């Protein structure tokens, strides 16, 4: 997905301490399933209820202080964007999740306000993250309010996303709007997470061409992004004129052949969701391969480093990767019924709640996320996408606990 976008920033990236200590990742891995000690309680409600309460409190606190879209933090201060860059949907989504849980008018009012501000972005012609922007915001707004304005906006966003499909090469390029470089030959693993918008739109509209784009793009990704061990490239490059593959690369990972943790989490989650929506067992199998790699690489504390293959024992963590993966593992459990996926998702969430949840007055729901280390952005900070998937995963687990 995108990087810093147009967010305002002040000063160099700062380190956000937790109880005065920066959380760092070692290279010691516990290779039991889930990468975590099995002695941890998985179903005790105490940590879970406290985590949900703390997360919702932070959403409300942020909502009282921001007038634009929070993107990432620097020195625990939210960097705001007027148009939402690629993360605005997650902020609107957090507000909708809060309203759906608490039924409070204030969260609903703010959710509507920020969702409405995103609607003009449905016409973006060069933005591979329209799913990120419109599923948590406009689709959810339509589901909760019945207002067809949001339905129409989400359908328009899906058509704009599909229009970016390179039919010859078989993919949607990444970062068409990013910087001054030509990204037309770059395909990101993140884009899988935007395909569910197209599936939803095809189901709502009956437009088979939207589903054709999903099948084309996903086939290209499965053919080229995955390595034999289940790790994935962040970026794969092609000749946009012919579709000829050039090779794997990265933008936010340590190296082209390393394993950027958030990219691994995007692969788990995007393919699990698509597998469930389309009933495609090959997508589920690919999600399981990505999950097996992610879980085998987790350190004993259960919080992933920003890149699993970055050398040295003092690498920054990426709590956002853990949050995204916990949600993806729950989706994988739903489609496979394989209990260890639910166990691993629960342990990931508990680890995040115990070591990364923010009990302070500044920053996001989660501390110790890393947005873009190679470019010095949001290192050991909060990210809007990490916060969104943290609360989303917590609430999904709560519904499971309570049989809803």
CA distance 335 to 332: 5
Whether 318 is a known active-site residue: answer no
CB proximity list for 230: less than 8 A, separation 6 or greater = 289, 290, 292, 293
C-beta separation of 90 from 380 below 8 A: no
Q: In angstroms, how far is the first alpha carbon of the chain from the final one?
A: 32
Beta bridge partners of 188: 235
387: tokens are 């916060």
CA distance 87 to 72: 9
Catalytic-role residue among 190, 307, 318, 380: 190
CA distance 147 to 84: 22
Whether 129 is a known active-site residue: answer yes
Catalytic-role residue among 68, 124, 129, 301: 129
Count the neighbouring beta carbons within 10 Å of the beta carbon of residue 20.
5
- Helix-helix angle 88-102:45-65, to 10 degrees: 120
C-beta separation of 62 from 324 below 8 A: no
CA distance 114 to 129: 17
CA distance 188 to 350: 29
Catalytically active residues are 129, 190
């Amino acid at each position: 997905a995108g990087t810093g976008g147009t967010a305002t920033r002040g000063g160099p990236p700062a380190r956000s301490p937790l109880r005065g200590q920066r959380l760092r990742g070692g290279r010691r891995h516990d290779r039991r399933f889930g990468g975590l000690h099995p002695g941890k309680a998985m179903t005790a409600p105490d940590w879970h209820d406290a985590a949900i309460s703390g997360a919702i409190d932070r959403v409300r606190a942020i909502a009282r202080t921001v007038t634009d879209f929070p993107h990432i933090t620097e020195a625990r201060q939210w960097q705001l964007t007027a148009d939402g860059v690629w993360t605005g949907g997650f902020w609107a989504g957090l507000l909708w999740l809060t309203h759906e849980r608490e039924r409070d008018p204030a969260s609903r009012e703010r959710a509507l306000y920020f969702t409405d501000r995103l609607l003009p972005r449905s016409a973006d012609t060069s933005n591979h993250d329209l799913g990120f922007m419109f599923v948590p915001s406009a689709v959810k707004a339509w589901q909760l309010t019945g207002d067809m304005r949001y339905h129409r906006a989400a359908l328009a966003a899906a058509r704009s996303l599909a229009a970016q499909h390179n039919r010859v090469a078989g993919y949607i390029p990444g970062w068409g709007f990013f910087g001054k470089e030509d990204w037309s030959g770059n395909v990101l693993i993140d884009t899988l997470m935007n395909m569910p918008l197209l599936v939803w739109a095809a189901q709502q509209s009956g437009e088979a061409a939207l589903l054709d784009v999903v099948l084309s793009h996903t086939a290209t990704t499965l053919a080229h992004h995955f390595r034999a061990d289940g790790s994935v490239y962040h970026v794969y490059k092609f000749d946009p004129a012919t579709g000829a593959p050039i090779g794997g690369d990265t933008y936010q990972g340590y190296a082209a052949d390393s394993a950027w943790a958030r990219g691994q989490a995007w692969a788990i989650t995007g393919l699990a969701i698509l597998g469930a929506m389309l009933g495609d067992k090959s997508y589920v199998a690919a999600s399981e391969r990505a999950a097996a790699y992610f879980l085998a690489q987790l350190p004993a504390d259960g919080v992933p480093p920003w890149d699993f293959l970055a050398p040295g024992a003092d690498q920054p963590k990426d709590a956002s990767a853990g949050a995204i993966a916990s949600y993806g593992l729950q989706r994988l459990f739903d489609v496979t019924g394989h209990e260890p996926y639910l166990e691993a998702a629960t342990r990931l969430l508990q680890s995040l709640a115990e070591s990364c949840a923010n009990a302070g007055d500044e920053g996001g729901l989660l501390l110790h996320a890393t947005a873009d280390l190679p470019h010095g952005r949001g290192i050991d900070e909060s990210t809007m996408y990490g916060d969104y998937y943290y609360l989303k995963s917590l609430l999904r687990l709560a519904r499971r606990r309570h049989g809803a």
